[in-house]
Each structure stands twice: as structure tokens, then as C-alpha cells.
Amino acid sequence: MTMTKMLVGNVNEIDIKGSRKLLVGNTEIALFRLTTGEVLAIENKCPHKGGALSEGMVCGSRVHCPLHDWRIDLHSGNVLTPDTGHVKTYEVEIDPESGSIYLTI
């Protein structure tokens, strides 16, 4: 499988503790900007009932699904106990000079 690195925006386009969603092929991906300035990317779909994670609340490095409050670790994609499951994560790089965000698919 070939990995593709693509420019998806600029870090200044995402508020701290905010998100942005984008469509890559048939997959919707959510980008989150943490209070540390780090940008993380996961598939925009909770494994429970398919809730849009981009609409959830960011707490530290976790997002809470807006439907049933499942908590997902944005680094690993793992659902936190007592719930179980996993969300696909994507590698993100930020150019320190321009603030450009690159996503590896």
C-alpha cells in the first residue's frame, strides 16, 4: 500500500481545542488542535454509533463523542474504558516555518 503525504491546510485555520474535517476519497477525517499546539488526525467516526468526532469536545489529548460521550485517545485512536474499540489515526506533520499541515494517508 502506497502512503501519500498531502497538504491539508494551515495550523492557524484550526482553533485551539477545535477541529476541522476533510474528505479524502470516501473517508472523512477529523483534525484536532490541542492546547499544546499539536495537531492530530483520526477518522471522523466513533466506533460505537458512528458519531462525528469532529463535533465532540476536546479534553487534553482526548475527544468525547457527541452522541454517547465515548472517550477516544487522539494519539492512539483507542477508546477508553469502560468502553472498547479503536478509531484509525493518521500521521500529521506541521512545517514549523509556514504552519502548513501535512497528512499521510
Segment-wise mean pLDDT, segments of 10 residues, the chain, 105 residues:
88 95 95 96 96 96 96 98 96 96 95
What is the structure's pLDDT at 2?
A: 73
Residue 28: which residues within 8 A CB-CB, separation 6 or more?
21, 22, 43, 44, 45, 52
What is the structure's pLDDT at 1?
A: 63
What is the structure's pLDDT at 41?
A: 98
Asked, as a colleague might, if the bond just before 82 is cis with ω within 30 of 0, I would say: yes
Distance (Å, rounded) from C-alpha 59 to C-alpha 69? 12
Distance (Å, rounded) from C-alpha 95 to C-alpha 42? 19
**Cα distances (Å, whole numbers) of residue 17 to 2, 27, 55:** 31, 22, 11
CATH number assigned to the domain with residue range 5-104, chosen from the 4 options 2.60.40.1180, 3.30.310.80, 2.102.10.10, 3.40.50.360:
2.102.10.10
Domain segments of the chain as ranges: 5-104
